[in-house]
Amino acid sequence: MNSPTLDSAILSLVTFIPLAGALLLLLFPRRDRDIRVFALVVSLLAFVLSLHLPVHYDRAQAGFQFELNQPWISTPHIHYHLGADGISLWLVVLTTFLTPLCVLISWKSIHERVKEFFILLLILETALIGVFVSLDLFLFYFFWEATLIPMALLIGMYGHERRVYAAVKFFLYTMIASVFMLAAILWLYAKTGTFDLLAIESAIRNGQVTGFATAAPWLFLGFFVAFAVKVPLFPVHTWLPDAHVEAPTAGSVLLAGVLLKMGTYGMLRFNLGLFPEQSRQNASWIAVLALIGIIYGALVAMVQPNMKKLIAYSSISHLGFVVLGIFSFTQAGLDGATYVMLAHGVSTGALFMLAGILYERRHTYEISEFGGLATPMPAYATFFLFIVLASVGLPLLNGFIGEFLVLSGAFQARAVWGILGASGVIWSACYLLWMYQRVFFGKVRHSVNESLPDLLAREKAALWPAAAAALIMGVAPLLWLNAIDPAVQSALAPFAQLSKLVGR
């Protein structure tokens, strides 16, 4: 079963099956139902194949597995180098897990240009997976940029009223920021003659890169700016609420669920991996920005009259936890950061799906338009409550584990970070539960809402997996953490040495 050929091919398969599906869809006649079914089948196939990764991942061994390293282009030296460690493998599974749910949730809400929609969705999936499995900086940059176009088109073609504005803003923000990363990548290539992440890492560690000492602060910033915009970190977060509010539901799910994690994944992999010293030096202001993000995001979320915008700002707050955890440089902090990435992907993805389900029925996200929905839509209200509690960080659900780990890591690093960060947990309970109360409790205030249909079987099919994942991730975190742990340890290895050198 665990043959070496399958092991080395599995990442390529998982990455490119959605793309192959998209190309096949091109040839399909415009029969919307067939297209939807086919997209679902392809995304499920990718999910099932991606399960090979956690099943056959050797947890006793740190470092990258399922590696495939083939020369691709000789000038410049670009290799087709894929691999996954305990962090990226879960992000891949998260992506393949969310995509079929996106297909289900878009079943009826996308009714024109259906073919284009699912083609874009599948191309986006390929690009997202590619980002997480690339071990060649060029390949990484390519997939990174490749996520941009389908996402911008999804927002711009299928979004709401101000979709063009939101799509262009999203595109320009992330495109301009990633130019800095490209510059840093090209500098590294010019000095080392390779795009290979592992080769560059060891060259830096062994001091073989001339002029690295003077350039490193700028290189660190080049990468960091690109990732910070993606996360998004305060104060470069302003594209996010616009993009989310205007995006179609599936776009929001993948945007919040996976796209934002590209930023935090990048920080973990590239900023910490290539520039440990500079990460250490810059940690304090980055942590401050993360804390501002946690608290500011939560406070702004609280006053949003628009449900989708509220969830968008809550993402800024949650992603602040991830950044705080990463730049605490502690085992608990990094474990927690990775766990929050996954948990946030599941629960915020589900929240956006729930918001989308309501929008399909009422064509509004305004919280004031609702009230007392628990009466006409009991099943919907139950799912919503469950996901809200998961997102708030109720123990035994997925949000709790990650936030707890992050905060304990932050305390170890600097107590005041932990205290300020912990306040974010309270804020998130405030805005989410208050929103829940206004939407679901009390009497039905608008008569249109009295006859709203409850969840359809298809919608339940999309929500059940998310809810189940939230629960399992809450009660059995070790299933995930035993793979994350060794990866985090090796990510932190240079910091242990550094601490000895600095004497901390």
Partner 1 sequence: MNPADMMQYVPQALDYVRILPEIVLALFGMVVMVLDPLLPEERNQRVLGGIALAGGLAAMVATLITANSPGLAFWDVIQVDAFSSFFHFLVATVAVVVILSSYEYMQVQEIRAGEYYALILFGAVGMSLMSSATELVLIFIALEISSISTYILAGFRRRSAMSSEASLKYFLLGSFATAFFLYGIAMMFGATGSTSIRVISQALRAGNTPVLAYVAVALMFVGLGFKVASAPFHIWTPDVYEGSPAPVVGFMSTAPKAAVFAVLLRIFFQANAPGRLWLIWVSAALSMTLGNVGALVQTNVKRLLAYSSIAHAGYLLVAFAALPANGIPAAMFYTASYAAMNVGAFAVVSHFASRGERYVTLEDYSGLGRRSPLLAATLTIFLLSLIGIPITGGFFAKFYVFSAALQANLTGLVIIGVINSAVGAYYYLRIIVMMYMREPKEDTPLAPVPVALGTALAISVFATLYLGILPNSVLAYAARSAADLLR
Q: Which residues bind partner 1 (CB under 8 A)?
A: 73-76, 113, 115-116, 138, 141-142, 145-146, 149, 153, 156-157, 163-164, 167-168, 171, 175-176, 179, 183, 186, 190
Nearest approach, Cβ of 154 to partner 1 (angstroms)? 10
Nearer Cβ to partner 1 (141/400): 141
Nearer Cβ to partner 1 (149/422): 149
Cα dihedral 424, 346, 490, 228 in deg (nearest 10):
-60
Nearer Cβ to partner 1 (163/230): 163
Nearest approach, Cβ of 70 to partner 1 (angstroms)? 13
At 255 the three-state DSSP class reads: helix
Nearest approach, Cβ of 156 to partner 1 (angstroms)? 4
* Residue whose entry in the numeric block shows the structure tokens 């340890």: 489
CA distances from 347 to 102, 202, 476, 503 (A): 14, 37, 16, 41
Nearer Cβ to partner 1 (113/362): 113
Nearer Cβ to partner 1 (132/411): 132
Report the alpha-carbon distance of residue 261 to residue 255 in Å, rounded: 9
Nearest approach, Cβ of 49 to partner 1 (angstroms)? 23
Q: With contact defined as beta carbons under 8 Å apart, do 53 and 89 qualify? A: yes
Report the alpha-carbon distance of residue 467 to residue 390 in Å, rounded: 9
Report the alpha-carbon distance of residue 273 to residue 63 in Å, rounded: 12
Nearer Cβ to partner 1 (97/189): 189
Q: What is the 3-state secondary structure (H, E, C) of 243-254?
A: HHHHCCHHHHHH
Nearest approach, Cβ of 82 to partner 1 (angstroms)? 16
354, two tokens: 């729930």
Nearer Cβ to partner 1 (145/485): 145
Question: What amino acid is encoded at 454 in this protein?
Answer: D
CA distances from 417 to 225, 333, 366 (A): 22, 12, 34
CA neighbor of 424 nearest in space, from 231, 295, 232, 233: 295
Nearest approach, Cβ of 452 to partner 1 (angstroms)? 30
Nearest approach, Cβ of 153 to partner 1 (angstroms)? 6
| Terminal-to-terminal C-alpha distance of the chain | 47
Nearer Cβ to partner 1 (137/283): 137
Nearest approach, Cβ of 222 to partner 1 (angstroms)? 13
Q: What is the 3-state secondary structure (H, E, C) of 469-498?
A: HHHHHHHCCHHHHHHHHHHHHHHHHHHHHH
